[in-house]
Structure 1
Amino acid sequence: MKGKLGKNLWGEELVILAEASMEPTVIYVKQVLDIISKASNKGIKGIAHIPGGGFIDTICRVFGIGLGALVYNDSCSVPPVFKWIQKAGGIEDGEMKRTFNMGIRMVLVVSKEVSEKVVKEEGEMVYRVGEVFLGEKVESTP
């Protein structure tokens, strides 16, 4: 693996770096509006779009003063391009989450009851990535 455009990335699947960097952005408006419109989903407290910046820093902006979050490390699969960036740059997990979205492009902050319902109903594109707690920091599970 040489890290040049056109060379295969390592990981669970082979991906061409040039193709990975040109992958179109998924637009989540319809899915989010569908979730919000359901009467039983009134426990939605906030929404964060995470376009390309850090996952950790972006979700902090959604919380009010005195709230923090515990992010589950293995809540969803990380796209191979992020694994390549991490390995090629020798970047620690925490720094990756502060710098990149790690493939998580939209976060809904919801009540526990709504999170369980949405994960069950919305299928494979929805993950429970953490939980909110009293405090003012974002932590990751070990």
Structure 2
Amino acid sequence: MSTYKAAGVDKEEGYQTVHKIKDDVASTHTKNVLNGIGSFGAFYELGDYKNPVLVSGTDGVGTKLRIALDVQKYDTVGIDCFAMCANDILCHGAKPLFFLDYLACGKLDSDVAAEIVSGIVKACKETSCALIGGETAEMPGMYQIGDYDVAGFCVGAVEKDEIIDGQKIKEGDVVLALASSGFHSNGFSLVRKVFTNLQEEWEGKPLYETLLIPTKLYQNAIDELRKQVCVNGIAHITGGGLIENIPRILPKGLGVEIHKSSIKTPKIMQELQKRAGIAEEEMFGTFNMGVGMVVIVSKDKEAKALQALEAAGENAYKIGFVKSSEREIVLE
């Protein structure tokens, strides 16, 4: 007799997944979460906002996930999934309120799924965000056994009069870099093509450990910064690098001049460029080059901003300035 399990979907493994993650997930909940796992929808009460604007973002881990699957190390990719979404909405001044995840696979292993979710939980806790729901989809025939895909959806809120949209950016403002933790979650199709031996030694440990360093979360540092200075613009440096992401926040008629010599590019990115002979323009248009986030503030707030970011534990430094220009970005 035909059964769902015989067709490749093991409902019992799904139940085991829920059992293994439910306590971790519940640990992210605050008084604003009004129900638990198992409902058709999750309830979240906004709370103490006067005129809130919801800001949402969705993203995945990309082919960085392939490295995690190949070395069977799954505890960091959940952090990547959350960070890629939360860092995006942070660019508009939003605090993450709640997160939902989507996990798809060919054959579900509850231990693997629980390890991935544990990373999401860790990231949620760091930013006081609630993991309120998700979906685990076992789809034989769509994915190979052992393969997983991970995506997420983040909703945050910001007071309407505190939205950061780049419109306050003006000529003479300074561009500050917040260091990345590595490649973050972009450019890995090229990374994997160049670094084919994940077990090779790099700085005293297997290369994959460096490649799987999770995307850095900037929420807490930016929150501290905004308590002390007015932030005119924020750009999350993801796919497309500095070249494509900074222009997204600039008002018409303004550009930025970036001093390449000021940028502290990680050794692993330098090694990638060296091995493959990648052109500099390609590197800056694909990778973050060591800059995970850019903050733009008024020139007279530069010192105070850097001091605040340093106090919050960030490696922050000036990399350029804003000027009147028809060219949105110039790398000098």
Distance 1:71 1:85 in 2: 22
Larger radius of gyration between Structure 1 and Structure 2 = 2
State the TM-score, normalizing by the size of structure 2: 0.38
Distance 2:237 2:303 in 1: 22
CA offsets per residue over residues 44-73 of structure 1, 9 Å max, x none?
211111234412210111111111111111
Change (3 A) 1:69 1:77: same
Is 1:49 aligned to 2:242, yes or no? no
Distance 1:52 1:125 in 2: 21
Structure number with higher strand proportion: 2
Large movers: runs of 4+ above 6 Å: none
Partner of 1:112: 299
Is 1:23 aligned to 2:213, yes or no? yes
What letter is aligned with 1:114?
K
CA RMSD of aligned residues (A): 2.0
Indicate if the aligned counterparts of 1:75 and 1:128 stay in contact, CA closer than 8 A. yes
Is 1:94 aligned to 2:281, yes or no? yes
Is 1:140 aligned to 2:327, yes or no? no
Change (3 A) 1:66 1:16: farther
Change (3 A) 1:126 1:15: farther
Q: 2:252 aligns with which of 51, 65, 75?
A: 65
Distance 1:120 1:35 in 2: 9
Q: Which ranges in structure 2 are unaligned for 5 or more consecutive residues?
A: 1-193
Partner of 1:36: 226
Distance 1:131 1:16 in 2: 39
State the TM-score, normalizing by the size of structure 1: 0.82
Change (3 A) 1:103 1:45: same
Identity of aligned residues (%): 34
Q: Secondary structure at the match of 1:23?
A: coil
Aligned length: 134
Distance 2:204 2:287 in 1: 21
Distance 1:50 1:14 in 2: 28
Residue 30 of structure 1 deviates from its aligned partner by 0.5
Distance 2:240 2:209 in 1: 20
Residue 81 of structure 1 deviates from its aligned partner by 1.8
Partner of 1:5: 198
Q: Which of the pair has the greater relative contact order for Cα pairs under 8 Å at 6+ separation? A: 1
What letter is aligned with 1:5?
L
Distance 2:204 2:315 in 1: 21
